[in-house]
Amino acid sequence: MIAALFALFAAAPQQAAQDTARVKQGVDYRVEARLDETTNVLAGRARLRYTNHSGTALDTLYFHQYLNAFRPNSAWARRELQFGNRRFQDLGPEDHAFERFRRVEVDGRAVAPVYPGAPDSTVVAIPLPAPLAPGATATVRMDWDARLSTLPRRQGRRGRHFDFAHWYPRIAPFDRGGWQPHPLLPQGEFYGDFASYDVTLELPEDQVVAATGIPVEGDPGWRTGGQLPPPEALRRDAYPARPAEALGLLAGEAGAGRKRIRWRAEDVHHFAWNTSPTFRYDGVIRASLDDAGNATPLPSIHVLYEPSDTGWSGNVTRHTFNAVSWLQGIFGPYLWPQLTITSRAEGRGGTEYPMLVMNASPSEGLVVHETTHQWLHGMLANNEWKAGWLDEGFTSFITDWYFEEKGQADVWDQTMEGLAQVERRGLTQPVGLPGEAFRDPATYNAMTYDKASVIFRMLREMLGEDVFRRVLRTFYDRYKLQHVDEADFAAVAEEVSGRELDWFFRQWLHTTDTLDYGIGEVGTARLPDGRWRTTVEVLRLGRAWMPVQLQVGGTSRTLDSREPRQVVEVVTRERPREAVLDPRAVLLDLDRTNNRAAIR
């Protein structure tokens, strides 16, 4: 059944036309880095090969140095000041994060980095000695120092536990709209170009390490009963072998008490890692069998947690395994060789990186949410600061759907009631705004996560679950390992459903129009044949519109008139007691008290 659907929708004729403007730059990183725990500074050296697949010559390369958000005078710290939060503005010289170049060369010539947003230094421009023509490749060599902040926020350190969510100069994404450099701010997250990474890390020998990618050489320190996981779990052969390119930072052998681990990752838009000498390890190896009984390895799942983390042992691997299995049915295969869930220094929430999740708790909801991000943001890579709804709202919806399918019927109730209150109080802003345009973190969260999740649920209900599932599979099939945006998703939804949906995305993402259906007059009368004819006045009181279900007794009907007032007749065998609009409470209706009327 699934194979048939793929065949039907994989080769859509308009795909070529849509894709002409798509850009996928060539990004190849080789990195050597050494962590010095006496200073807590990571020294890095990278060789980046950047191939310009866009149609225009480039005179500048843009990079992100997002560790520089977590220090005084960053755009992040200044934004937090507006809300009375001084935590990063006041962070002292020993405690704040930094990421500083020591040297940058392009094609053998030294260049001086420029910080266009100074004093913020999360965006850096590297002027090229000569324009990079379409099809041409520039080789960038960089030396830098990086340190995490002692106050953890999406990165950080605590004792010997280091969360290197950001640590290297990461090339800014270049998409259909050109360069997309953007400072890191509290509202909105990440966006990146797909790349190939070959990273050698040198650390103290007792460190246990988790990372995006596969540990192709060296010992990551994972132990179960004193043993390294078996080769099927380590997957050292996941990529065709190739020797490590020596950059000279890690020349000779690692010294006494030190070790090196080489990691590789392909088709990921970020490389993150974290480490702690006290990490404990749980793992799951999976394989699928074909009809002839041949086993194919599926992504390994690794879980690393601190001894003080209660509830992790066994549970997180099980939740992750269940989530990956379910998500592969919703979208399509997990395309990378492993997925690691680790415990982080920051005490709340979680953050998603390709193949790696850093979580603060073993909660099943959190595991399912962050695992869903491997598809929605990881493999289907939207610009999270520009359209957070497309990964955060989508992911929140998928997570609720997961629990709905597990039998949790009331999973939506709290979100629906909370949002209706926000709508009634007029506190909404358009869901499609860029992250930093929301007036405060509470509104950003309510719109980007909650309202967007309800919008996806309304779409699922309106299209029907079968059609909606085909929309998701087609979206994945067509755009996996590529950048995606609203237009891509809307086009797939329209194509698969055969419906015009511009109005839906415009209304729900780009206006704050509210929806309020109500029942006016209701009456019923017996017909000569003994049945009952009920007349219901249906009022559309808000500016927004959606098809709405009207239930009269045991009969229900979908109303698709846009009239502010319509009178509907329903004939039933039995005398109906009640008329109800949107009986399953799917619509974001800001006043539900007028959705129900007794029939006397």
Positions in the binding site for Zn ion (CB under 5 A): 392
Strand partners, 505: none
Ramachandran region of residue 445, left (φ > 0), alpha (ψ -120 to 50) or beta?
A: alpha
Tell me the C-alpha distance between 454 and 446, whole Å: 11
Q: How far is the CB of 398 from Zn ion (least distance, A)?
A: 10
Bridge-based pairing state of the strands 380-382 and 482-484: parallel
Nearer to Zn ion, 66 or 279 (CB): 66
Q: How far is the CB of 447 from Zn ion (least distance, A)?
A: 14
Q: Which residue is nearest to Zn ion (CB)?
A: 392
Q: How far is the CB of 369 from Zn ion (least distance, A)?
A: 6
Nearer to Zn ion, 282 or 392 (CB): 392
Tell me the C-alpha distance between 241 and 234, whole Å: 15
Tell me the C-alpha distance between 494 and 497, whole Å: 5
Q: How far is the CB of 377 from Zn ion (least distance, A)?
A: 8
Tell me the C-alpha distance between 216 and 26, whole Å: 23
Q: How far is the CB of 402 from Zn ion (least distance, A)?
A: 14
Nearer to Zn ion, 120 or 392 (CB): 392
Bridge-based pairing state of the strands 596-598 and 578-581: antiparallel
| 405 C-beta neighbours (distance < 10 Å), count | 11
Q: How far is the CB of 384 from Zn ion (least distance, A)?
A: 9
The SS3 of residue 356 is strand
Contact 356, 212 (CB under 8 A): yes
Looking at residue 349, the DSSP 8-state letter turns out to be -
Q: How far is the CB of 388 from Zn ion (least distance, A)?
A: 9
Bridge-based pairing state of the strands 195-204 and 258-268: antiparallel
- Residue 305, exposed/middle/buried by CB under 10 A (0-12, 13-18, 19+)? buried
Nearer to Zn ion, 62 or 456 (CB): 456
Q: How far is the CB of 274 from Zn ion (least distance, A)?
A: 18
Nearer to Zn ion, 135 or 418 (CB): 418
Tell me the C-alpha distance between 581 and 556, whole Å: 9
Q: How far is the CB of 380 from Zn ion (least distance, A)?
A: 14
Nearer to Zn ion, 392 or 423 (CB): 392
- Residue 99, exposed/middle/buried by CB under 10 A (0-12, 13-18, 19+)? buried
Q: How far is the CB of 373 from Zn ion (least distance, A)?
A: 5
Half-sphere exposure of 347 (CA within 13 A, CB side): 2
Q: Shortest CA distance to 508 belongs to which of 583, 458, 564, 469?
A: 458
Tell me the C-alpha distance between 279 and 258, whole Å: 17
Q: Shortest CA distance to 42 belongs to which of 203, 207, 216, 206?
A: 203
Containing 532, the helix (H) or strand (E) segment is strand 532-540
- Residue 411, exposed/middle/buried by CB under 10 A (0-12, 13-18, 19+)? middle
Q: How far is the CB of 449 from Zn ion (least distance, A)?
A: 7
Cα distances from 232 to residues 94, 228, 303, 338, in angstroms, run 42, 11, 16, 11
Looking at residue 272, the DSSP 8-state letter turns out to be -
Q: How far is the CB of 172 from Zn ion (least distance, A)?
A: 21
For 367, list phi and psi in degrees, rounded to 5. -60, -45
Tell me which amino acid residue 314 is.
G
Nearer to Zn ion, 121 or 342 (CB): 342
Q: How far is the CB of 397 from Zn ion (least distance, A)?
A: 11
Contact 282, 298 (CB under 8 A): no
Nearer to Zn ion, 182 or 235 (CB): 182
Contact 355, 265 (CB under 8 A): yes
Nearer to Zn ion, 212 or 382 (CB): 382
* Contacts with 459 (C-beta within 8 Å, 6 or more apart), sequence order: 468, 493, 504
Nearer to Zn ion, 193 or 392 (CB): 392
Q: How far is the CB of 4 from Zn ion (least distance, A)?
A: 33
| 434 C-beta neighbours (distance < 10 Å), count | 15
Work out the angle between the directed axes of helices 364-372 and 315-330 (0-180°, nearest 10).
Answer: 40
Q: How far is the CB of 505 from Zn ion (least distance, A)?
A: 21
Nearer to Zn ion, 190 or 476 (CB): 190
Rg of the chain over Cα atoms, rounded to whole angstroms, equals 27
